[in-house]
Amino acid sequence: MSMQTIIKQTETAKKLKSHLNMILVENNWLLNQIDFNEVEGLMNQMQAAEHIFITAAGRSGFAMRSAAMRLMHFGFQVYFVGDTTTPAIQAGDLLVAASGSGTTSTIVKAAEKAKSVGAQVVALTTQPKSPLGETADLIVNIPAAEKQDHDSSKSRQYAGGLFEQFLLLLSDAIFHELWKASGIPAEELWKRHANLE
């Protein structure tokens, strides 16, 4: 390996560290933009619901699947919309719908259907006045950049990355509060972890 290659790798390593630092700085900035009364409202809705349904698409969907897993560990009856074992939503249930734009048609339709049967809807979105926001009973406004905000005014990341990352971090914070407030030992929660893997 030549000296030039070593220097090139070192420069790349520095750039990688810089990118990760930028991502962390942006998430920290967003942390200070959130109204945590809205987040507490979401947590209260989760605790009151008979069943929790979660819907999101793309990378937001992956983040929200992680949230669903943690809520299952806590003991909630939780379903990710679209899975083959997801039952019908009913009155007394909660739909948590995440969409940066608030216009994703399948998510908006799911919210409208949930409302039509008497379920509660919480929207996690960058656009409170979107169709999803207008359908929701409660909005958690996450003022990150949307996928096509290319001017870097809210985020230097590509295609909604900040919103998607923050969904995961926020859902972990909600889980952590539920867990710590419950006093349930980690060993008890772990009994619900998948054992057919």
Residue whose C-alpha is closest to residue 92's, from 125, 129, 50:
50
Q: What are phi and psi of 77, to 5 degrees?
A: -85, 100
In the residue annotation, 164 being an active-site residue is answered as yes
d(CA 177, CA 69): 16
DSSP H or E segment with residue 80: strand 78-80
Listed in sequence order, the residues at least 6 apart from 197 whose beta carbon sits closer than 8 Å to its beta carbon are: none
Q: Are 134 and 108 in contact (CB under 8 A)?
A: no
Q: Which of 134, 164, 177, 188 is catalytic?
A: 164
Listed in sequence order, the residues at least 6 apart from 124 whose beta carbon sits closer than 8 Å to its beta carbon are: 42, 96, 97, 98, 99, 140, 142, 167, 170
d(CA 82, CA 25): 34
Active site residues: 164
